[in-house]
Amino acid sequence: MSPSPSADEGRVAAAVADLVRTLDPGFPVLLWTGERIGAPEGPALVVRRADAVARLAFSPRVETLLGLWMDGTIDVTGGSILDLAARREARTKARGAWKRLRKRGLVALLPALWRLRRLGPAAGTGAEAGADAGASGSTRQAIQYHYDVSNRFYELFLDRRMVYSCAYFDGWHDDLDRAQEDKLEMICRKLRLQPGERFLDIGCGWGALLIHAVSRHGVVGHGVTLSKAQFDLATRRVREAGLEDRITIELKPYQELAGTFDKIASIGMFEHVGFRHHDAYFGAVRKLLRPRGLYLHHTIARPAKRDLKTFHRGSREYRAITRFIFPGGELDYIGHSLQKLEAHRFEVHDVENWREHYGRTCRIWAERLEAQFEAAAAEAGAPVARLWLLYLAGCALAFERGTVMINQTLVSRRDKGPSGLPPTRADLYA
């Protein structure tokens, strides 16, 4: 006769408790039995069912962990994901912990885990990829998968202008509205926008940069997006601002754009393009930009590796993000971006790393979403709200730790003679 499920659960709980004590993750763990291993106070990782351990044991993948987080089987109590990470970073690393594990005991536990794995719901992430493998993340399908969750959902954690890209902090304050306005102004200053110039925003989001550039700097603005939700709200905001005669927004791919522009910005859009489409993208930007016109290339990047094969492999966490958060998207590295820009006859003038700015931005977003979690779950469903909470907290930690970068690169369409830029950058900070 096989052991009862409760007997299996008890054996697994005892083994997990021993594992946690030996490995010392730096934070407490609260098991389905009610036992808490570690400090009695503060945030703790919660494992609500024994079958979660079984699912991880037989499918030790990021996707499995993601599914357990999304359905609430794994959770955090007494604080946030960021609080838990802070406790882990503060711990003293236990040397030789793996050697001290009783590995025979873990092997003996496999039959119990095998039986328990059938008790819970079928494994799954609750999220499906929004694009075919190898397809560009800038397709309409992929963009709408990410951005059309709902405008209300994004309103819960973004600033009042709904700027969904890295803010710019003149000091490490928490005023997101101010930091995003400062970012919009810095972009306009770097582009040296002048009244009457034609300005294009590729991937214009909810229209914040266009409205700022037109109302503050007197340009004529044009934007494109593939998100229907963004397009609807952006056009409404332009209308409410009384700028319909100076801003046009189209729901179309950047590849279908025509005409010539004096200045172009791409803020947080290039991540969606994908390596296979970089040449086509930079070729399209060059075609749209007048000679010596300025282009601001603002994009997230990963640090370069010793070779391209290693770089493209990426981490398991990175592969999960590009499957379940930004389907079809890929992060470049700064050296490759600069090489491609020069190959497409752009002159590179300035490169600025905003990594710490994005770390702070994502941390504020995660904290705001955590505070509005019930409203977010009601709007988009608890699994989606939990996925975005994990994603934003993970991004904050990645930028803060330096495993992910973000750069603003200012270039001009190469031509003979002077660049037209001032001799110093003092005007940016005047």
> Which pair of structure tokens corresponds to residue 309?
């094969």
Pairwise CA distance, residues 153 & 392, whole Å: 14
Please give the pLDDT value at position 59.
Answer: 85
**DSSP helix/strand/coil, 417:** coil
Please give the pLDDT value at position 143.
Answer: 44
Helix extents (H) in 291-381: 308-313, 316-324, 334-343, 355-371, 373-380
Residue 95's pLDDT band (cuts 50, 70, 90): low
Is-catalytic flag, 395? Answer: yes
Let me know how long the chain is. Answer: 430
CA distances from residue 381 to 67, 126, 150, 373, 388 in whole angstroms, order as listed: 14, 11, 11, 10, 11
Q: In what order do the strands lie in the sheet with 346-353?
A: 247-251, 220-225, 198-202, 261-267, 289-301, 405-413, 346-353
The domain defined by 140-429 folds into: Rossmann fold (3.40.50)
Residue 90's pLDDT band (cuts 50, 70, 90): confident
Residue-wise pLDDT tens digits, 42-80: 999 999 998 888 888 888 888 888 889 999 999 999 999
Pick the residue with more confidence: 253 or 327? Answer: 253
- Find the range with the poorest average confidence among 16-30, 100-114, 227-241, 372-386: 100-114
What is the mean predicted confidence (pLDDT) over 215-235?
95
**For the chain, the helix, strand and coil percentages under 3-state DSSP, each to the nearest 5:** 50, 15, 35
Q: Are 48 and 74 in contact (CB under 8 A)?
A: yes
Closest CA to 273 of 164, 153, 142: 142
Segment of 10-19, 143-152, 375-384 carrying the highest mean pLDDT: 375-384
Determine what percent of the chain is predicted with pLDDT higher than 90: 65
Segment of 136-140, 377-381, 384-388, 405-409 carrying the highest mean pLDDT: 405-409
Residue 130's pLDDT band (cuts 50, 70, 90): very low
Please give the pLDDT value at position 330.
Answer: 85
- DSSP H or E segment with residue 295: strand 289-301
Please give the pLDDT value at position 392.
Answer: 94
Residue 241 has pLDDT above 70, yes or no: yes
Closest CA to 49 of 106, 118, 110: 118
Residue 356's pLDDT band (cuts 50, 70, 90): very high
Pairwise CA distance, residues 9 & 197, whole Å: 68
Pairwise CA distance, residues 261 & 282, whole Å: 15
Q: Which residues of 162-181 are buried (b: 16+ CB within 10 A; e: fewer)?
A: bbbbbbbbeeeeeebeebbb
Average pLDDT, the chain: 87
Q: Between 62-70 and 50-58, two packed helices, what is the crossing angle to 10 degrees?
A: 160
Domain boundaries, the chain: 5-116, 140-429
> Which pair of structure tokens corresponds to residue 407?
């750069």
Closest CA to 208 of 191, 196, 193, 221: 221
Please give the pLDDT value at position 129.
Answer: 40
Q: Can you give the pTM of this predicted structure?
A: 0.89
* Annotated catalytic residue within 166, 204, 362, 395: 395
Q: Are 45 and 78 in contact (CB under 8 A)?
A: no
Please give the pLDDT value at position 25.
Answer: 85
> Which pair of structure tokens corresponds to residue 53?
């351990």
Contacts of 34 (CB under 8 A, 6+ apart): none
